Chain A
Amino acid sequence: MTVEQIVSEGKDQFPIGMRVLAVDDDPTCLLLLGTLLRRCQYHVTTTSQAKTALKMLRENKNKFDLVISDVHMPDMDGFKLLEHVGLEMDLPVIMLSANGDTKLVMKGITHGACDYLLKPVRIEELQNIWQHVVRRKKKDRCNSGSKDKPHPDSGEAAGIGNVDNNGKLNKKRKDQNEDEDDERDENGHDNEDPSAQKKPRVVWSVELHRKFVAAVNQLGIDKAVPKKILELMNVEKLTRENVASHLQKFRLYLKRISCVANQQANMAAALGTADSAYLRMGSLNGLGNFHTLAGSDQLHNAAFRSFPPSGVLGRLNTPAGLGIRGLPSPGTIQLGHVQNSGNPTNDLSKLQSFVPGNHNTNILQGMPMSLELDRLQHNKNVGHIGELPTTDSMTVFPGSGNLVDARITGFSNNQLLGVTSNSLMLEGSSQQATSHTSVSAIGFQNGNALSDFTSIAPASNQLQDSKAGSQGQASPINCNAGQIIRSAPQEWNAPRKDAPYQSHASINSSIPINGAMIQLGQCLDRNNSIFHRTTDLDSVGPLNFVDPLSIKHSEGDNSIMEPSVIEKEGYLMFQPRPHGSHVPDNIGSLEDLASAMMKQEGGCNGYSLRTSI
């Protein structure tokens, strides 16, 4: 089935055909999970390696609708995979574990899992997982809906709100012109987005921003007033308010970068101590923030919000001189409120624009932007924003537009900033067609990010590999069977009809019983054509004895039906006598029967499946 077929099928009869990626290192569970999911009529890809799963996802984000992953995996922690997926692809992820500790479940939730299932997983639970996909799609639609929403100027408001160390931004937000839409309001509000959207949101694309800057330059930064800028820009659907807020941010940004040099020394001293504490908090919040970035979990936001800005932030605030209202002197403001945002808000844009320049020197300059989310996890990764373009202010803003566009709602520290920008870039890029332009426009990137972003394409046979892998897992027996057929010694004494029969017979005779069971079954599968002369044993029904045997008899090949032939073929584990008349009436205990069969095989070598190879 091609992907296109699947996609179209999936869309038509959702949830049927929903594409699920299942990850579990335990082959038993993986096979079971895959089978159960297929029984629910989903389209399933299985893999036992988290890294393979990530590769597949990165290869094509739209290939899957949902990911189910085990928690305990050798190559990568399930929670880590969860974060990656949430950040990079923003797909719903369901965790699976044999361990149902409350702590673990909580961890799953905070990392952004949509659900947490316990093993053994039952089909009833799997039948409802499609709800997570629908829920997310709905949120997506509302979030990125119309592009005319007012630019989150409220980001600024949020920043202001952050000033008072309370993480409360709601109040302050209302002070601003725009009231942020619900989607932006991921402050722990339990908002499943209402379908009604209040205001269109403005996306400050590269083009738009360029026009803006051009207008500002033309007017002169001092004389640039929103109204005039608006006129000069001559863009439809842009309101004075949009321009005003954008202008305010622009001004702050300019101030900040111009003051960077002056502030560095001060900041270094002031923030030196704050740093470590900050980092710690960052790490604490980090995971939650990743969540926020993904914008997927309200609960998470609430939890996140519960982290009170510590005294650290207070300290950060002071040197920053947070007077976000109006234009505080140094560009420290941004840093202050960036770090202080205990509440996830959409200061995303703000943060993006105003990379903490006044933060520690090291941080500012030495931040390679990296899309390697692994690294982002580390505390060292403070604010990997990348080189701030000091000269080209324009490059910063378009990014903010894009970033706002994405569903990131807030973050509280530089780490997140870095992560945010990365993920935002990815998200924003993916959400807009202007993927590369927006990425490049942001100017945060170094070759690293871009290359990561664009070159995340592993071989196209990844999927096939994983499929092969999963198939391999699901039926290792097939391989075994094949090998056994080749290597089994010939012990059957009866005259052979032809080679295939021969090998089957020998399989029966020499393979240990459990192996025989499997191989036999598989042989039957594989050698239909051979068997069909007498019967299509492959179609012999399921394990339950009473189930129908859908045997397809061949067209009357009578010669085959001689009992002696049957005997030679050795289809049966026990030897039917000629004319079938010697079937014992009393089969005794089943175990005796089984062992009798095994004895007839001429002595099996024990019960190991593998050793028969």
Chain B
Amino acid sequence: MDFVNQLQRKFIDYSSSLHREGIVDDQFTQLRKLEDENSPHFVMEVASLFFEDCEKLINNMAIALEQKQGVDFKQIDECIHQLKGSSSSIGAMRVKNACIAFRSFSDAQNREGCLRCLQQLSHEYSLLKNKLQTLFVVSVASRYLYVCLLMVGRENEHAEPFSDVLVFQLEQQIVAAGGSIPRVH
């Protein structure tokens, strides 16, 4: 099944590109390794928590920087710190680096600099979110695809393209990739 191969390859390429571009780092790989049968959606869960958290913090910082009376740099510092912690935990390298840069401006109490950094941070965050979402969508979709193809091929006698041979090929690929084939009754 060429399609499955393609999808598989694309997935791998895509996720390596994330690493290459520095959007995620080794910590993300560690996160992926934590997924198993017991927690199959772990990375997604953590990522969504992170997205929520990040948006909230970015909002708070934006509001804080808007204050006419005076910017509460301490609060901003706290936000940055927390964001740095969570971004490093999830492996979002560029977001983390943006936080580090942000911090120096916040320490200097430089409002303009902070605004610029916040923008940069926001940008990095959006980038990360898009990429990760794509990754998730494709991985989940491809899983479903496989399932469907398999089921269609197996159970539907009238499905011509999915002869047993093709299904067998699919299985071969899975096994070759280190997976196991579910037994269908």
| Interfacial residues, chain A to chain B (CB-CB below 8 A) | 25-29, 31-32, 35-36, 39, 70, 72, 97-99, 119-123, 473-477, 513-514, 517-518, 520-522, 525, 534-535, 537-553, 555-556, 558, 560-563, 566, 571-574, 576, 579-581, 583-587, 589-591, 593-594, 597-598, 607-610
Q: Could you list 21 A-B pairs, sorted by A, with CB under 8 Å?
A: A28-B90, A70-B85, A72-B78, A123-B30, A474-B45, A475-B45, A517-B136, A542-B37, A544-B32, A546-B178, A547-B178, A548-B174, A549-B147, A553-B155, A581-B161, A585-B2, A587-B3, A587-B10, A593-B141, A607-B133, A608-B55
Closest residue of chain B to A561 (Cβ to Cβ) is B155
Cross-chain contact of A514 among B89, B133, B183 (Cβ < 8 A): B133
Judge whether A545 and B159 touch: CB under 8 Å. Answer: no
Stretch in B46-54, B62-70, B110-118 with 4+ CB within 8 Å of A: B46-54
Residues of chain A within 8 A of B140, CB atoms compared: 517, 520-521, 540, 573
Query: Nearest-CB distance from A507 to chain B (Å)?
Result: 13
B74 at interface (Cβ–Cβ under 8 A)? Answer: no
Q: Is the interface of B mostly helix, strand, loop or mixed?
A: helix
Judge whether A32 and B11 touch: CB under 8 Å. Answer: no
Using an 8 Å CB-CB cutoff, how does the interface string of B158-185 with A read, 1 for contact, 0 for none? 1111100000000000100111111111
Residues of chain B within 8 A of A547, CB atoms compared: 177-179
Docked complex Cα distance between A517 and B153 (Å): 26
Judge whether B155 and A556 touch: CB under 8 Å. Answer: yes
Top 5 A-B residue pairs of the complex, sorted by shortest distance between their CB atoms = A548-B179, A98-B85, A546-B177, A542-B35, A561-B155
Given contacts A476-B49, A573-B141, whether A35 and B134 have CB atoms under 8 Å apart is no
Q: Categorize the interface residue count of chain B.
A: 35 or more
Cross-chain contact of B53 among A27, A477, A572, A584 (Cβ < 8 A): A27
Residues of chain B within 8 A of A473, CB atoms compared: 49
Residues of chain A within 8 A of B134, CB atoms compared: 590-591, 594
Query: Nearest-CB distance from A189 to chain B (Å)?
Result: 37
Docked complex Cα distance between A576 and B98 (Å): 41
Residues of chain A within 8 A of B46, CB atoms compared: 28, 31-32, 35
7 new A-B contacts at CB < 8 Å, known A32-B46, A590-B10: A31-B46, A514-B48, A549-B182, A561-B154, A593-B137, A608-B55, A609-B48
Docked complex Cα distance between A465 and B65 (Å): 36
Judge whether A566 and B152 touch: CB under 8 Å. Answer: yes
* B11-57 interface (Cβ within 8 A of A): 11-12, 14, 27, 30-32, 34-37, 39-46, 48-53, 55
Given contacts A521-B140, A522-B41, A543-B139, whether A583 and B145 have CB atoms under 8 Å apart is yes
| Interfacial residues, chain B to chain A (CB-CB below 8 A) | 2-3, 6-8, 10-12, 14, 27, 30-32, 34-37, 39-46, 48-53, 55, 78, 81-82, 84-86, 88-91, 129, 133-156, 158-162, 174, 177-185
Docked complex Cα distance between A63 and B1 (Å): 54
Judge whether A534 and B151 touch: CB under 8 Å. Answer: yes
Query: Nearest-CB distance from A533 to chain B (Å)?
Result: 10
Residues of chain A within 8 A of B11, CB atoms compared: 545, 590
Docked complex Cα distance between A490 and B52 (Å): 26
Closest residue of chain B to A573 (Cβ to Cβ) is B141
Residues of chain A within 8 A of B45, CB atoms compared: 31, 474-475, 477, 518
Judge whether B152 and A563 touch: CB under 8 Å. Answer: yes
Judge whether A579 and B137 touch: CB under 8 Å. Answer: no
Query: Nearest-CB distance from B48 to chain A (Å)?
Result: 5
Residues of chain A within 8 A of B158, CB atoms compared: 579
Given contacts A518-B41, A548-B179, whether A535 and B151 have CB atoms under 8 Å apart is yes
Residues of chain B within 8 A of A27, CB atoms compared: 49, 52-53
Closest residue of chain B to A30 (Cβ to Cβ) is B49
Query: Nearest-CB distance from A509 to chain B (Å)?
Result: 15
Docked complex Cα distance between A574 and B149 (Å): 13
Query: Nearest-CB distance from A424 to chain B (Å)?
Result: 37
Judge whether A590 and B49 touch: CB under 8 Å. Answer: no
Judge whether A517 and B44 touch: CB under 8 Å. Answer: yes
Judge whether B6 and A29 touch: CB under 8 Å. Answer: no
Query: Nearest-CB distance from B35 to chain A (Å)?
Result: 4
Judge whether B152 and A550 touch: CB under 8 Å. Answer: no
Closest residue of chain A to B10 (Cβ to Cβ) is A590
Given contacts A26-B82, A120-B88, whether A540 and B144 have CB atoms under 8 Å apart is yes
Query: Nearest-CB distance from B121 to chain A (Å)?
Result: 15
Q: Looking at A551, A589, A607, which has the most chain B CB atoms within 10 Å of its CB?
A: A551
Given contacts A514-B133, A517-B133, A521-B140, whether A120 and B156 have CB atoms under 8 Å apart is no
Residues of chain A within 8 A of B178, CB atoms compared: 546-548
Docked complex Cα distance between A552 and B137 (Å): 22
Docked complex Cα distance between A292 and B102 (Å): 40
Query: Nearest-CB distance from B110 to chain A (Å)?
Result: 21
Given contacts A539-B40, A542-B40, A590-B11, whether A26 and B144 have CB atoms under 8 Å apart is no
Given contacts A540-B147, A549-B146, A550-B182, whether A514 and B3 have CB atoms under 8 Å apart is no
Cross-chain contact of B89 among A32, A591, A607 (Cβ < 8 A): A32
